[in-house]
Structure 1
């Protein structure tokens, strides 16, 4: 997630330079085609790039709105995980009587759940969660493809044991169990966002329309601007391309990039909060911004 208010032009150019080269080449070809092949035969009506520009604006607007909706939904899900994790830990620490070791184990296991979920969403091999699990837990979850779901199953079983041992009453059991249900809901919503592919036709057609617009705009403007139409065509295309790429960077909110949801920072924040509530002395440092520009 970006932290700065102003984005450097170099960052934008790093994301668009390949498309910029293609647009400059297309504009150059369009200029020479118009100057040497069709200039003496007919004029291209300006209505063509006008209509294409309008269509592109609709497509880019739709794409960016949908991309931001996905990103914001993902951010709300993980914001809820922060709040629910604190409430869950507070409930275990204050509502359970005489089972301190089991409570500590369940809180550690919850931290493992968050790290396992984060690794799954980002498609990375991140085994930080292992240090928060017991040997028995590790043996049980190794047979499960969905590690974080297996951890939740163990949590429910331990909560049931606390209830049978009369360490918590029925009302508090239901309250803590409801939190486990919310963790499962947040897990499912995150997986839905991750596994639902944004329709490729929208982004593909937008790219095609931008290319057609750049070419036709250059053909039209070259009638009055001459060779400068190459630069003007690229400039107008750059506006559309950079706007479209900016929106598409939010399509996969869990990706490990500067525009994604900062899962590393959120998970570490929860870990720090929970360990401090337990009174542990070894507290990890918060995640630091990269180049004071963004956090992952």
Structure 2
């Protein structure tokens, strides 16, 4: 997630340079085609790039709105996980009577759940969650394809054991169990965003329309601007391309990049909060921003 208010032009160019080269080549080709072929036969009506520009504006606006909705929903889901995690730990610490070892084990296991979920969403191999699990838990989790769901199942079983041992009463059992249900809901909503592909036709058509617009705009303006039409065609195309790429960077909010939801920071924050609530001695350091620009 970006932290700075002003984006450097160099960062934008790093993200668009390959498209810029294609646009410059297209504008150059369009200029020479118009200069040596089309100019001797007919002129290109200016209505063509006008109509294309309007269509592009609609497509980019729709794509960016939908992309931001996905990103914001993902951020709200993990914001809810932060709140529910603190409430879960607080309830276990203060509601469970005379069974501190079970409380510690369940809170540790919840930290493992968060790290396992984060690794799944980012398609990475992150074994950090294993240090918060017992050998018995690890042995059981290996039988499942979905590690974070298996952890929730173990949590539910241990909660039932606490209830049978009269370590918590019925009302507190229901309250804590509802938190486990909310964890499952957040897990499912995160997986839904990750596994739902943004319609490729929208992004494909937007790219095609931008290319057609750049070419026709260069053809039209070269009638008056001459060779400067190459630069002007690229400049106008750059505005559309950078806007479109900026929106598409939010389509997959769990990707491990500067525009994604900062899962590393959020997970570490929860880990620190829960360990401090347990009064642990070894507390990890918060995740630091990279180059003071973004946090992962």
For the pair 1:146 / 2:143, whether they are aligned, the reply is no
Q: Return the TM-score normalized by structure 1.
A: 1.00
CA distance, structure 2, for counterparts of residue 16 and residue 103 of structure 1: 51
Alignment-derived partner of residue 231 in structure 1: 231
Alignment-derived partner of residue 289 in structure 1: 289
For the pair 1:118 / 2:109, whether they are aligned, the reply is no
Deviations 1:75-119 (A, max 9, x none): 000000000000000000000001100000000000000000000
Alignment-derived partner of residue 39 in structure 2: 39
CA distance, structure 2, for counterparts of residue 9 and residue 108 of structure 1: 44
For the pair 1:66 / 2:66, whether they are aligned, the reply is yes
Question: Which runs of 5 or more residues in structure 2 are unaligned?
Answer: none
SS of residue paired to 1:53: helix
CA distance, structure 2, for counterparts of residue 291 and residue 233 of structure 1: 34
Alignment-derived partner of residue 216 in structure 2: 216
For the pair 1:271 / 2:271, whether they are aligned, the reply is yes
Alignment-derived partner of residue 76 in structure 1: 76
Which runs of at least 4 in structure 1 moved beyond 4 Å after TM superposition? none
Alignment-derived partner of residue 240 in structure 2: 240
Alignment-derived partner of residue 188 in structure 2: 188
What is the Cα deviation at residue 134 of structure 1? 0.2
Deviations 1:40-68 (A, max 9, x none): 21110000000000000000000000000
Alignment-derived partner of residue 18 in structure 2: 18
CA distance, structure 2, for counterparts of residue 73 and residue 109 of structure 1: 26
CA distance, structure 1, for counterparts of residue 174 and residue 38 of structure 2: 77
Alignment-derived partner of residue 251 in structure 2: 251
- In angstroms, what is the RMSD of aligned CA positions? 0.3
CA distance, structure 2, for counterparts of residue 159 and residue 92 of structure 1: 10
For the pair 1:56 / 2:69, whether they are aligned, the reply is no
How many equivalent residue pairs?
A: 296
Mapping of 1:156-195 within 5 angstroms? Answer: 156-195=156-195
Alignment-derived partner of residue 107 in structure 1: 107
What is the Cα deviation at residue 72 of structure 1? 0.2
Deviations 1:229-272 (A, max 9, x none): 00000000000000000000000000000000000000000000
Question: Which runs of 5 or more residues in structure 1 are unaligned?
Answer: none
CA distance, structure 2, for counterparts of residue 148 and residue 161 of structure 1: 20
